Chains A and B, each alone.
Chain A
Amino acid sequence: MAEFLAYLIAGIATGAIYALAAIGFTLVWQTSQTINFAQGEFVMLPAVLILLAIKLFGAPIWLGALIGIAAFILIFGVGFKLAVVDPMIRHGVLPLAIATMALSIIMKEGAKDGFSAEAQKFPSFVPTETISVFGAAISLQHVAIIAVAFAVIGLLQWFVGSTRLGRQMQATAQNPTVARILGIPVERMVLLTFVINAALAVVASVLISPIYLAKFSNGEVIGLFAFIAAIVGGFNQVRGALVGGLIVGIVDSMAAAYISTSYRLAVPLVLLVVVILVKPEGLMGRKEERRV
């Protein structure tokens, strides 16, 4: 039982990371029809940029973090939208999706060549010891991840649901044409979702990298699980992405503990296929109508 509790906490913690990535993925999909296949690399890169800034400028950690985060949000929030999505969306959704695959290769290989092919230690912003709860060894890091991730997601929900700006963003996602008629600056709202996506990726990256270490190939698994989380939860629902992320994280943790470590990746994949077969609109999703 104690063991189970520890695995559950670990699962919720990684699930919260997947949820952050999946929420960003869903937001970007909703507002601009961009299926971002580089989402995993988006979570990998901020940590690498932070370490790079520390190494290059000899900066203290806080300054390095500031430079790395600012650079990431500028390039992969604003720049991604302006330089990749805008010129390509007029050709349709398919070329854009492929462009994000190209981007993922560039980010991964760039991190490998420009930074390091080896996993690098990433400083933790919280204490790393474990505490004992009901006889279970719970890592404080996991608890901190859960607390921060949920705080961020709660903040996002509040922003989207209760502020003027957030509601404008939501209107843009639901129906850009009507939003434009109502005088909402649609372009700026779309840009805002890309910045939020980048910011969520930064949070996920800073939270997960002390555990997984900063490595160029980290994005593969995180990206895969973020996709699965988004689909399992419901492709067009922010709430769905949260639920999907947690489910995938817990399933992954339990699979590693009780089924097989070498096939832990396979269990969420099976979950994905089952959901697509049984409830293709996702657990929290609504059926989409087909428009000609």
Chain B
Amino acid sequence: MTAPATHSAAPAARRLPLPAFVDGTLLTLVAAAVILWFVPSGMGRYGTYVLSLWLVMSVAVMGLNLTLGYAGLKSLAQAAFMGIGAYATALLTSKVGLNWYASFAISGLLTFAVGLVLGFPALRVKAHYLAFVTLAFSTLIWLVLRNEQWLTGGVFGLSNIPRPSFFGLKLDGALAFHRFVVVVTFLLAVVLWWMIRSPWGRAFTALRENPIRAASLGIDTRMYTLLAFAIGSAYAGFAGALYAPLVEFIDPSPFSLSQSFFLLLMVVAGGAGYLLGPFIGALLGVVLPEWLRFAGSLYLIIFAAIVMLLLIACPQGMSGLLERGWAKLTSKKEGAR
């Protein structure tokens, strides 16, 4: 009777008996960080910018992956949370004159707190009510960003957002800032990796697999779902805090409801419930359209269609496909299903 089992049983069955694979995830993260540190030196300003943007979006998708992929909740406000982080950081660094690190922390705390406040009433009822509450919230934030000109600059947005410095080292150049983004993204990914391996993270997974059973095992279901959502939202705040100095100009459009839908599709495309999935998802959603410039806005349609096909053929997304391919190659019969 419990239909979702087919969707989620596979990653869990893979993860539990094989702690070695999890270390593989960490190694991949380290290797990728090293490569990304060096790779853009010959790519020029724009190429470097696209790489940085990929990482920043990956942070937002990582947070949503925690909410959706691990805790099984639909949040339709990830872009709105990113907007809160971006506007908070932009205002604090350019208007108040606070340094970036403090603004980054405040952005995360603020989105975490808002996540708690939003999630509490919604999760009191039923998991899918969170979708509707976040849907409403997304629209509200967009209205505020657009209408409160005195604070947000309305449709004209905020410009001249300063880039941070690192112990007196200026990070104004594209390459220097890219390396900064690499380090921050790496740290955030490692924190998430650690969180998911901890007993606490196991509780998230238990919750997604079978909430009622998890509750009967003594897991405070509501508290854990709420925390997963709040932490996921805080990652969007962190992503926003990186996004604002990266693009140096923000307006309401990248934080709209359709952008939140788009972030969800990236989670699914990359593979919900896989730690490295968000990087693949953001690669497909952010970097590929830059390379496929000729496709223009058609790319969105193609991307959405690919996600639908993936959902039919392999709901575990690209990570699931890669895993299947790997299992075929190494001819582990039980892994291939």
Choose one: A91, A103, A276; the contact of B129 (CB below 8 Å): A276
A101 to B297, CA, bound (A): 17
A263 to B298, CA, bound (A): 32
Choose one: B128, B131, B308; the contact of A103 (CB below 8 Å): B308
The chain B residue with its CB closest to the CB of A104 is B261
Interface residues of B in 126-143 (CB under 8 A from A): 126, 128-129, 131-133, 135-137, 139-140, 143
Interface residues of A in 90-105 (CB under 8 A from B): 90-99, 101-105
Q: Which residues of B contact A98 (CB under 8 A)?
A: 74, 264-265, 268, 307, 311
The stretch from A109-117, A134-142, A201-209 touching chain B is A109-117
A269 to B143, CA, bound (A): 11
Contact assessment for A95 and B315 in the assembled complex, using a CB-CB cutoff below 8 Å:
yes
A227 to B300, CA, bound (A): 24
Kindly state whether residue B6 has any CB partner on chain A within 8 Å: yes
Q: Which residues of A contact B133 (CB under 8 A)?
A: 272-273, 276
Kindly state whether residue B72 has any CB partner on chain A within 8 Å: yes
A87 to B131, CA, bound (A): 23
Contact assessment for B268 and A273 in the assembled complex, using a CB-CB cutoff below 8 Å:
no
The chain A residue with its CB closest to the CB of B2 is A292
The chain A residue with its CB closest to the CB of B300 is A109
Kindly state whether residue B301 has any CB partner on chain A within 8 Å: yes
A276 to B4, CA, bound (A): 26
Contact assessment for A90 and B304 in the assembled complex, using a CB-CB cutoff below 8 Å:
no
Kindly state whether residue A277 has any CB partner on chain B within 8 Å: yes
Choose one: A95, A104, A276, A290; the contact of B311 (CB below 8 Å): A95
What 1/0 flags go to A103-131 for Cβ under 8 Å of B?
A: 11110111011000000000000000000
Q: Which residues of B contact A277 (CB under 8 A)?
A: 121
A220 to B256, CA, bound (A): 11
Kindly state whether residue B257 has any CB partner on chain A within 8 Å: yes
A93 to B126, CA, bound (A): 14
Given contacts A105-B304, A113-B301, A231-B132, contact A91 B6 (CB under 8 A): yes
Q: Which residues of B contact A91 (CB under 8 A)?
A: 4, 6-7, 311, 315
Kindly state whether residue A88 has any CB partner on chain B within 8 Å: yes
A175 to B334, CA, bound (A): 37
Given contacts A99-B308, A99-B311, contact A113 B261 (CB under 8 A): no
Q: Which residues of B contact A37 (CB under 8 A)?
A: 261
Contact assessment for B305 and A35 in the assembled complex, using a CB-CB cutoff below 8 Å:
no
Contact assessment for B6 and A227 in the assembled complex, using a CB-CB cutoff below 8 Å:
no
Given contacts A97-B74, A99-B308, A113-B298, contact A224 B135 (CB under 8 A): yes
Choose one: A92, A102, A109, A269; the contact of B139 (CB below 8 Å): A269
Given contacts A103-B308, A280-B124, contact A97 B131 (CB under 8 A): yes
Q: Which residues of A contact B3 (CB under 8 A)?
A: 89-90, 92-93
Q: Which residues of A contact B217 (CB under 8 A)?
A: none
Q: Which residues of A contact B122 (CB under 8 A)?
A: 276
Tell me, rounded to whole Å, the shortest Cβ–Cβ distance linking A14 to chain B. 17
Interface residues of A: mostly helix, strand, loop or mixed? helix
A143 to B328, CA, bound (A): 64
Given contacts A95-B268, A99-B308, contact A110 B301 (CB under 8 A): yes
Given contacts A92-B7, A112-B297, A292-B212, contact A276 B308 (CB under 8 A): no
What 1/0 flags go to B177-212 for Cβ under 8 Å of A?
A: 000000000000000000000000000000000001
Interface residues of A in 57-111 (CB under 8 A from B): 84, 87-99, 101-106, 108-110
Kindly state whether residue B41 has any CB partner on chain A within 8 Å: no
A272 to B132, CA, bound (A): 9
The chain B residue with its CB closest to the CB of A263 is B143
Kindly state whether residue A262 has any CB partner on chain B within 8 Å: yes
Q: Which residues of A contact B279 (CB under 8 A)?
A: none
Tell me, rounded to whole Å, the shortest Cβ–Cβ distance linking B157 to chain A. 17
Contact assessment for B125 and A228 in the assembled complex, using a CB-CB cutoff below 8 Å:
no
Contact assessment for A113 and B297 in the assembled complex, using a CB-CB cutoff below 8 Å:
yes
Contact assessment for A280 and B125 in the assembled complex, using a CB-CB cutoff below 8 Å:
yes
Given contacts A105-B262, A105-B265, A109-B297, contact A88 B147 (CB under 8 A): no
Q: Which residues of B contact A224 (CB under 8 A)?
A: 135-136, 139, 257
Kindly state whether residue B13 has any CB partner on chain A within 8 Å: no
Q: Which residues of A contact B129 (CB under 8 A)?
A: 231, 276, 280
The chain A residue with its CB closest to the CB of B127 is A94
Contact assessment for A106 and B132 in the assembled complex, using a CB-CB cutoff below 8 Å:
no
Tell me, rounded to whole Å, the shortest Cβ–Cβ distance linking B289 to chain A. 12
Q: Which residues of A contact B265 (CB under 8 A)?
A: 98, 101-102, 105
Given contacts A95-B268, A280-B124, contact A269 B136 (CB under 8 A): yes
Kindly state whether residue A165 has any CB partner on chain B within 8 Å: no
Kindly state whether residue A266 has any CB partner on chain B within 8 Å: yes
Lowest 3 CB-CB distances: which A-B pairs, in order? A92-B4, A280-B125, A102-B304
Which residues in A have some Cβ–Cβ distance to B below 8 Å?
Answer: 35, 37, 84, 87-99, 101-106, 108-110, 112-113, 220, 224, 227-228, 231, 262-263, 265-266, 269, 272-273, 276-277, 280, 290, 292
Given A88-B311, A265-B139, A280-B125: 14 more A-B contacts, CB < 8 Å = A91-B311, A93-B4, A95-B268, A98-B264, A105-B301, A106-B304, A109-B304, A220-B257, A224-B136, A231-B132, A263-B147, A273-B121, A276-B125, A290-B212
Can you sample 10 A-B contacts with CB below 8 Å? A91-B6, A91-B7, A92-B3, A94-B72, A97-B131, A103-B304, A109-B301, A112-B297, A272-B133, A280-B129
